[in-house]
Each structure stands twice: as C-alpha cells, then as structure tokens.
C-alpha cells in the first residue's frame, strides 16, 4: 500500500517516489509530496490519521475550525500545510541538507523492476517527479531553496530574509 510504484496506494492517482526523496521529514505517514502533500502535513500536525480522514473534501478544514475556533477554509488549511512543508524544508537547508543529494534505495523506485506480481516492470520516475514537484513548489531545481517570492507569499518574511540575505552593493566598503 505504501509502495511508491503503486498507483492507487494510499489513495494516490499516480506513483509518488518523491515523498521518499524530497520530503523533509521522511518516515512519517505521508500521502504525497509537493502540492498533493499539503493536506497531509496538516493532518499529521493535528494528530489525525490518514486512514480516517483522507479524501473527505473540506472535512479537514471543518475539523481544524471546530477544534481551534478559527473559521478556516480548505484553501487556508492547505496554505498552512504548504507553510509547514516549507518550514521543515528550510530547517533542513539551514543544516546543510539538500534532499537531491540523498540516494533513494533502488528497490524503492523499482531498479531493477520486479519481474513478477502486480508491480512487474514498473519503475517510479523519481527524476521527473522531483523536477515537477520542485517547479510546482517554486523551489530551485538544483539547490532546492524556496524562492524568496514564495516564502513572502506564504507570510514567512523572516525566513525569506534569512535564506535570501540582501547582497551588499558593489564597490569599495567604508572603513
């Protein structure tokens, strides 16, 4: 069910090996990565179980609103999940961790592909998934740094300033 080569596993509509490669907190119960994983970040942070709440429309937003007293839409809830993902990822970047430098065990993505069973001949295209997800998140496709524009749009001004410090103007420095 959690095999990233399995279409339909954990409700996925396509294989998702990126959740094993780019996810800043691997080993957690993640449904997907990138935009498809924002809901899961909120689910995990709230203590809910994926099995009990996945695929229920705006039920998550209604739950969060009921528990916290904040009236939040599903879009606002997903934005919170995107903030969580970016904060977790930027923490790793600060510690020198670029997930593209991590090697995913070949068996996870199907190298070599199995020869028998329902996943025979299937290989998850992790390179394409990484490329697509990094672009969809507005993260650099080499350094994986979120763009300053994205961090500011998420309301993470202090994080943007730390990750993208102003560059001193060219020329001689006083003193």
Terminus-to-terminus CA distance in the chain, angstroms? 63
For residue range 5-36, list pLDDT tens digits in order: 765 444 444 556 677 778 888 766 666 778 88
For residue range 104-153, list pLDDT tens digits in order: 889 888 899 999 998 899 888 888 888 999 999 999 999 999 999 999 99
Q: Is the peptide bond before 112 cis (omega within 30 degrees of 0)?
A: yes
Kindly list the domain boundaries of the chain, sorted by start residue: 9-163
Q: Cα–chain-centroid distance for residue 75? A: 16
Q: Which residue has the higher pLDDT, 169 or 132?
A: 132
CATH 3.40.640.10 fits 9-163, yes or no: no
């Amino acid at each position: 069910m959690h095999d990233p080569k399995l279409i339909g596993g954990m409700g996925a509509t396509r294989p998702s090996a990126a959740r094993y490669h780019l996810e800043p907190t691997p080993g957690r119960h993640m449904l997907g990565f990138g935009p498809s994983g924002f809901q899961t970040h909120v689910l995990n942070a709230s203590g809910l179980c994926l099995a009990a709440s996945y695929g229920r429309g705006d039920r998550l937003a209604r739950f969060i609103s009921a528990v916290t007293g904040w009236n939040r839409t599903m879009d606002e809830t997903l934005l919170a999940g995107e903030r969580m993902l970016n904060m977790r990822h930027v923490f790793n970047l600060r510690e020198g961790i670029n997930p593209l430098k991590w090697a995913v065990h070949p068996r996870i993505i199907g190298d070599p592909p199995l020869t028998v069973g329902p996943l025979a001949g299937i290989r998850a295209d992790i390179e394409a998934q990484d490329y697509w997800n990094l672009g969809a998140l507005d993260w650099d496709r080499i350094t994986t740094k979120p763009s300053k524009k994205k961090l500011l749009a998420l309301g993470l001004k202090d994080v943007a300033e730390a990750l993208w410090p102003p560059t001193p103007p060219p020329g001689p420095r006083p003193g």
